[in-house]
C-alpha cells in the first residue's frame, strides 16, 4: 500500500522517484529546522529551502510554469519581504529566547490532522489512477488557455481581491 502511494509511475521513472525522495527528506528536515531554530532570520532562511524544494518538486512533475512562479513569488518576493521586515525590526544575531508561542504544542496534533485529512482525500479521490502526461509539453500555453477561457471569472475575482489588498495597504500606510 505504502509504496504505490509514495511513488509516481513505478518502473519507468526510477530517477524521478529517487529525486522525489531526496527532495522530500530535505524539505521535511528544513521544515523541522524552521520551527526549532533559535533565530528568526535562520527560520526564514530554512523556509527558503522548503519553498525552493517545493519548486523542484513541481519541476519533477513537469509543471515548469508553476515551478517558476513558485520561485518568483515565494523565494523572490515573499521571502525577501519577510527578511526585509525582520531585519528592519529585530535584526539580532545569535540565539534569542522566548521565540515559542506558549501554545506551540497544539500545533503538532493540528498538523498531523491536516496531513491525515489531505492524504486521505487525495488517496480516496485518485487511488492508483495515473495522470496522463500532456502531449508536446506546451504546458505554459495550456495554462494560459485555461485561465483566459473556462477559468476567466475566478481569475478576475482573484485580481479584484489583490487590488483590494493593494489599496488597503496604501490606505494603512498613508499618514494623513
Partner 1 sequence: MSVLAVEVPYWGQSLLRVLGGIVAVLLPAGTIVYVFLFKMMSFMQSRLGPMEAGPYGSMQLFAEVGKWLQKEDLVPDGADKPIFKIAPLIVLGSTFLLVAAIPFGPDAVFTNFSAGVFYALAVSSISVIGILIAGWSSANKYSLLGGLRAAGQLIAYELPLVLAVVGVVIQAGTMNMQGIVVAQNEGSMFGWDGLGNPFVITQFIGFVVFMISVQAELTQVPFDMPVAESELVSGYMTEYSGFRFLTFFIAEFATAGVFSLIASVLFLGGWGIPFAWFGWDGIDDVSNWMNVAGPLILFTKMMLLAFIIMWVRFSYPRLREDQLQTFAWKFLIPLSLANIAVTAILKVAV
Q: Which residues bind partner 1 (CB under 8 A)?
A: 39, 41-42, 45, 48, 64-65, 68-69, 71-72, 75-77, 79-81, 83-84, 87-88, 91, 93-94, 137-141
Q: Between residues 27 and 48, which has the closer beta carbon with respect to partner 1?
A: 48
CA gap 139, 143 in Å, rounded: 6
CB of residue 107 to partner 1, shortest distance in Å: 26
CB of residue 72 to partner 1, shortest distance in Å: 4
Q: Between residues 15 and 125, which has the closer beta carbon with respect to partner 1?
A: 15
Per-residue buried b or exposed e for 67-100, using 16+ beta carbons within 10 Å of the residue's own CB: beebbeebbeeebeebbeebeeeeeeeeeeeeee
Dihedral-angle region of residue 14 (phi above 0 means left; psi in -120 to 50 means alpha; beta otherwise): alpha
CB of residue 94 to partner 1, shortest distance in Å: 7
Yes or no: say if 30 and 43 are a contact pair by the CB < 8 Å rule.
no
Q: Between residues 100 and 141, which has the closer beta carbon with respect to partner 1?
A: 141
Amino acid at each position: 500500500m505504502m509504496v504505490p502511494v509514495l511513488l509516481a509511475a513505478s518502473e519507468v521513472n526510477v530517477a524521478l522517484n529517487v529525486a522525489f525522495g531526496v527532495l522530500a527528506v530535505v524539505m521535511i528536515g528544513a521544515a523541522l529546522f524552521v520551527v526549532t531554530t533559535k533565530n528568526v532570520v535562520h527560520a526564514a532562511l530554512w523556509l527558503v529551502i522548503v519553498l525552493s524544494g517545493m519548486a523542484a518538486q513541481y519541476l519533477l512533475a513537469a509543471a515548469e510554469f508553476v515551478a517558476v512562479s513558485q520561485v518568483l513569488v515565494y523565494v523572490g518576493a515573499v521571502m525577501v519581504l519577510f527578511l526585509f521586515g525582520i531585519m528592519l525590526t529585530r535584526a539580532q544575531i545569535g540565539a534569542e529566547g522566548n521565540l515559542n508561542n506558549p501554545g506551540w504544542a497544539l500545533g503538532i496534533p493540528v498538523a498531523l490532522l491536516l496531513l491525515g485529512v489531505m492524504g486521505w482525500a487525495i488517496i480516496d479521490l485518485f487511488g492508483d489512477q495515473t495522470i496522463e502526461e500532456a502531449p508536446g509539453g506546451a504546458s505554459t500555453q495550456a495554462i494560459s488557455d485555461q485561465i483566459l477561457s473556462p477559468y476567466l471569472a475566478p481569475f478576475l475575482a482573484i485580481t479584484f481581491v489583490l487590488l483590494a489588498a493593494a489599496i488597503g495597504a496604501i490606505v494603512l500606510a498613508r499618514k494623513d
